[in-house]
Amino acid sequence: MDGGKIKEVLQAYFDASYEGNCEKMGSVFHDMAHIYGHGEGGALGDMDKAAFIKLVGMGAANESRPDYPRQDEVLSIDFTGENTAVARVKLRVGNIMFTDILSFMLLDGRWTVISKVYSGVPV
């Protein structure tokens, strides 16, 4: 299977993360997507798409901030079926290096992220 279309979505994800571009990020995630990570006190954090998009607009670095250089990388893309895939990526947002696991589904002819699990460490 060709990962080219998924790589295009991942590039939009990287760009939106770095730019703080809410509209672009919205195009990456399905409307019913959820984002999971560690919340306060180590509890499970769960955001819907709307909450995540709002966060994107508040916290991303931009090109005028040389102290936050752009770093992003696709670590792997694995197809789990004809219409499903999982990507593991690394990206820097501000002073945090994130490792994300993004679950994809092919819906209505396009690949879209249906869930994200993230962890981050300060850099």
pLDDT digits (tens, 9 = 90+) for 47-58: 999 999 998 888
The pLDDT-based confidence of 59 (bands split at 50, 70, 90) is low
Cβ count near 16 (within 10 Å): 22
Q: What is the DSSP letter of 2?
A: -
Percent of the chain surpassing pLDDT 90: 73
Q: Which residues of 84-121 are buried (b: 16+ CB within 10 A; e: fewer)?
A: ebebebebbbeeeebebbbbbbeeeeebbbbbbebebe
pTM comes to 0.92
Domains and CATH numbers, the chain: 4-122 (3.10.450.50)
